[in-house]
Chains A and B, each alone.
Chain A
Amino acid sequence: MSAAEEVESAYSAGEAAVLPLDDGNARHPSRAFLQRLLRSRSGRFGLFLVLVLVLLSLFAPLVVAFSPLEMNRGDEFEPPSARYIFGTDQFGRDIFSRVLYGGRISLLVGYGSVGVAALIGVGSGLLAGYLLGMTDTAIMRLWDVLLAFPNIFLGIAVVAVLGPGQLVSALAIAIMNMPHFSRIARAAVIAEKQKEYVEAARAIGASDGRIVIKSILPNTIPPLLAQIATAIPRAILLEASLSFLGLGTQPPRPSWGNMLEDSREFLSRAPWYGFFPGLALFLLVLGLIFLANAIRDLLDPTHQNIE
């Protein structure tokens, strides 16, 4: 592992050990996992924060009194009050409503881009690790090149080609995440391939595809789960950064990043304008980090001694 990856793994779990997830409750491994997650303080705190924000965003239409795009004339720059609990912006739009609707974009881009990255990353990693040779070299070189661009610069490069927008920024974030998933899957395949059960499967005549999907893939799930958990808060931060730079979600559609960008013009006049979207972003990311740490601890108990 290079020093660069060591830094990253200080907050991620590229090497989480492969361990059974069930707790003597073999029938419902996911339920057992959740129970153990709730037993850790970090897991409870993270889950609480994330659930509150996810539910508020999801049920935004039921919670808010104003549409996020509705301009209330005469109510420009209203400070937080009973009517507008987070205040209003320069067009008299309800910031509370915009924060909740903006959360949907953060969550969608965050989960969506990591999902796509995991799918393509894992697929290519399995292929590279199983076939090795030229395929492996080609795929891994491609990821090396992507990793030569420090995080946000790759996003900027993608936007430079395709133009700014929500979908483009999601695509950029997905591309940025692919190398990490691919490397984990590849490492897992190479480690598993030499084990006896794979040889046994091959001996009874199982095809390559069947061996990878039925025998090897399930064993890569714990480290991948940990990687997904750490990639999501980063993806959400990146989406907000790109939107803040004017490269992601475009106004008038609200996203936390572009609200913060808009608010800069009115800092002394309306300090609440940028405060609330930033706070929501911070709390969501914090919750996701705590959740990721708890998940990693469950998957890799050697970390637990340290925590």
Chain B
Amino acid sequence: MTLYLLRRVIELLPVLFLASIVVFLLLHLAPGDPSYFVAGRDATPEELAAVRKKLGLDKPLHVQYLIWLAEILQGNLGESALSGQPVSKLIQARLPATLHLTVAGFLVTILLSLLAGVPGALRPNSKLDHFCSAYSAAAFGIPVFWLGILFILLFSVRLRWLPPSGYLSILEDPLRSMRFLLMPALTLGIANSGVLSRFIKFSVLETLRQDYIRTARAKGLAERVVIRRHALRNALIPVVTVAALMVGRLLGGAVVIEVVFAWPGLGRLLLDGVNNRDYPVVQATLLFVVLVFVLVNLVTDFLYVYLDPRVQLERK
């Protein structure tokens, strides 16, 4: 077990290394002088020279990369070309909003996916099953930004129940924070429940076909007990780990939703960076997202082995 996990960690290192090269090269592949992008639009010749020296732009590319990487590993993500603020500060400031959105979106995803996934598997081909399947397909196909706009039209413009945009930390005022969070989280949750509910349905169906379920039924257990104690518990093992992987999808969805609801998160920071050609911000944010995504994948793998020891043997 330890060996398998160790191997997984070691396997990730080259991926992270190569991903960092890709992110590093963004600045150099873009047409134009990199020092100009880093120093900002109104930089004086002296400032440009200082940036060139700091980034080592007169040195070979691989040396530049090593300088850049060394800075990053020391926690120095550089300064925004636009505002001059340290990028680490910018990310710190935006992270809570994105965390609010992804965590709430994650909870809604799980809830809706269970509601739409399990009943269909328990009564295949029933009306309920068809309804749940239709929901899954619709949730998978619905453009997340359109759903957000429809929600704003209904709940903000027409009914005037919820604010169309804005953000407040849940630590400051939980009740008011929820009013801001409700629509974005619901939008994100619905869009992601399309895939997950289908996965849950297949997982439960697959489990119900297993021999031990037949045995449980044959020994006279009530159907309720069979399903709750034997089927669901086992069917949800792969789902628990897979649900953790939804984080990648949630992060992606969050970028779009942050735009729809004017949510001040990392996604907007990244997009503003792209639009302003603020490369230090773009590089640092992308690197951060990749790191989170890769780590979540790793944790998921650990969880998988922990919950289902059979996996380890198969993967060897």
Q: Contact partner of A156 among B138, B194, B202, B255, CB < 8 A?
A: B255
What's the nearest-Cβ distance from chain A to residue B262, in Å? 9
A12 CA to B21 CA in the complex, in Å? 31
A244→B304 CA distance, assembly (Å): 36
Binding-face segment, A88-96, A190-198, A216-224, A285-293: A285-293
Asked if A150 meets B146 with Cβ closer than 8 Å, knowing A141-B14, A145-B18, the reply is: no
A260 touching B195 by the CB < 8 A rule? no
Q: Which of A150, A162, A247, A263 contacts B249 (CB 8 A)?
A: A150
Q: Is A157 an interface position by the 8 A CB rule?
A: yes
Contact of B259 among A10, A153, A159, A244 (CB under 8 A): A244
Does more than half of chain B's interface fall in helix, strand or loop, or is it mixed?
helix
The answer for the CA separation of A124 and B40 in the assembled complex, in Å, is 40
Q: In the assembly, what is the distance between CA of A164 and CA of B198, in Å?
A: 35
B30 within 8 A of A: yes
Q: Does B225 contact A (CB under 8 A)?
A: no
Pick the contact of A149: B274, B279, B286 (CB < 8 A): B286
Interface residues on A, range: 35 or more
Contact of B274 among A8, A156, A244, A278 (CB under 8 A): A156
A260 to B142, CA, bound (A): 13
Q: Among B18, B150, B242, point to the contact of A7 (Cβ < 8 A).
A: B242
Is residue B119 contacting chain A, with contact meaning CB distance below 8 A?
no
With A10-B202, A271-B153 already in contact, the answer to whether A145 and B15 are too (CB < 8 A) is yes
B275 touches A246 (CB 8 A): yes
The reply to whether B255 and A245 form a contact with Cβ atoms under 8 Å apart is yes
CA distance A160 to B28 in the complex (A): 11
Kindly specify which of A65-73, A178-186, A233-241 makes contact with the partner chain.
A233-241
Shortest B294–chain A CB gap in Å is 6
A3 at the interface (CB under 8 A from B): yes
B81 within 8 A of partner (CB): no
CB <8 Å contact, A286 and B138: yes
Which residues of A153-178 are within 8 A (CB) of B?
Answer: 153, 156-157, 159-162
What's the nearest-Cβ distance from chain A to residue B118, in Å? 15
| B263 interfacial by beta-carbon distance below 8 Å | no
Partner of A282, one of B142, B241, B252, B286: B142
A274 close to chain B: CB less than 8 A: yes
Q: Is the CB of B143 within 8 A of A240?
A: yes
Q: Can you report 12 residue pairs joining A to B where beta carbons are below 8 Å apart?
A: A2-B297, A3-B238, A6-B238, A11-B194, A148-B15, A150-B252, A160-B30, A237-B143, A257-B145, A260-B143, A289-B137, A306-B202
Which residues from chain A sit less than 8 Å from chain B, CB to CB?
Answer: 2-4, 6-8, 10-11, 141-142, 144-145, 148-153, 156-157, 159-162, 233, 237, 240-241, 244-247, 257, 260-261, 263-264, 267-268, 271, 274-275, 278-279, 281-282, 285-286, 289-290, 293, 306
B contacts, CB < 8 Å to A: 14-16, 18-19, 22-23, 26, 29-30, 137-138, 140-146, 149-150, 152-153, 156-157, 164, 194-196, 198-199, 202, 205, 238, 241-242, 245-246, 248-249, 251-252, 255-256, 259-260, 270-271, 273-275, 279, 282, 286, 289-290, 293-294, 297, 300-301, 304
What would 6 more interface pairs be, CB under 8 Å, given A247-B271, A306-B202?
A7-B242, A157-B282, A160-B26, A268-B157, A271-B157, A285-B143
